[in-house]
Amino acid sequence: MCVVIVAPPELPPAYDAVVGWNTVRFKSTATDVAAKNYLAGTQYVRIFGFRNGAWFLTPGPSYDNPKLEPGLGYWVAFTEP
């Protein structure tokens, strides 16, 4: 039997977002990334994540460098599309 390994599809370079709450999947699988870097060029006010059966708040961009964690999804409140 011959097994063919197919490369996974590339991830999209950007998200489409609307004003208000959006679900955002954190694409990194290696390390935490600062929210202000990952969401650079966007205007957001709140980020909620879900871990171990509970919601947690990731502070907004005015706080000192909150991190997004690999493998988690987030609810992000954007103020601009």
Closest to 63 (Cα-Cα) out of 25, 33, 36: 36
Instruction: Calculate the CA 73 to chain-centre distance.
Output: 6
pLDDT in tens, 3-20: 666 665 555 566 688 999
pLDDT of residue 72: 85
> Exposed/middle/buried for 44, CB within 10 Å: 0-12, 13-18, 19+?
buried
pLDDT in tens, 36-71: 888 888 888 889 988 888 888 877 666 666 788 888
Entry pTM: 0.70
